[in-house]
Amino acid sequence: MLKTILNVIFICLLLVGGINIIGSVLVLMDVPFFTRWDDWTKHTDEKSLEMIRDGFVFILLGAIYLKYIAPKFSKNQPKPPQYTKCPKCKEVFNYKELINGKCKNCKEVDTINIEEYFKKYPTELQDKNE
Ligand SMILES: [Zn+2]
């Protein structure tokens, strides 16, 4: 819920930033730009430049949020296993390279998420460490 609200706020920020820049550039070029809440043709050049600067700041903030902060919210969702191990041939695979998690060598054998695997066969982990 919080994530949705934040997303909307920052997407609005990106849009407002874009409108600021486009509108101000048009006004600087003597092309009238009107919005519902303000008549931008009355802006001085100085004000237009300020709005362009603000526009870039808004876009930068929005971009930082979407790139670095928004992905953190989805961090708690369960991730698909990355590495899996075949209980038969003991081969470790990257899960993405397998079809339905089946072992490439043994065909019909299901591989097991590496963390699950060592919970199931803790002795193998000990063998490895020794
Ligand atoms: Zn196998």
Asked if residue 25 lies in contact with residue 45, where contact means CB atoms within 8 angstroms, the answer is: no
Ligand 1 centroid, distance to 126 Cα (angstroms): 21
Ligand 1 centroid, distance to 93 Cα (angstroms): 10
Minimum mean pLDDT range among 32-41, 100-109, 115-124: 32-41
Ligand 1 centroid, distance to 45 Cα (angstroms): 70
Nearest-angstrom CA–CA distance, 128 and 68: 37
pLDDT (tens digit, 9 = 90+) per residue, 116-128?
998 898 887 666 5
- Predicted model pTM: 0.53
pLDDT (tens digit, 9 = 90+) per residue, 65-105?
988 888 887 766 666 668 999 999 999 999 888 988 899 99
C-alpha atoms less than 13 angstroms from C-alpha of 75 in its C-beta half-sphere: 6
Instruction: Indicate the domain borders of the chain.
Output: 2-76, 83-129
Ligand 1 centroid, distance to 110 Cα (angstroms): 8
99 residue type, one letter = I
Asked if residue 108 lies in contact with residue 98, where contact means CB atoms within 8 angstroms, the answer is: no
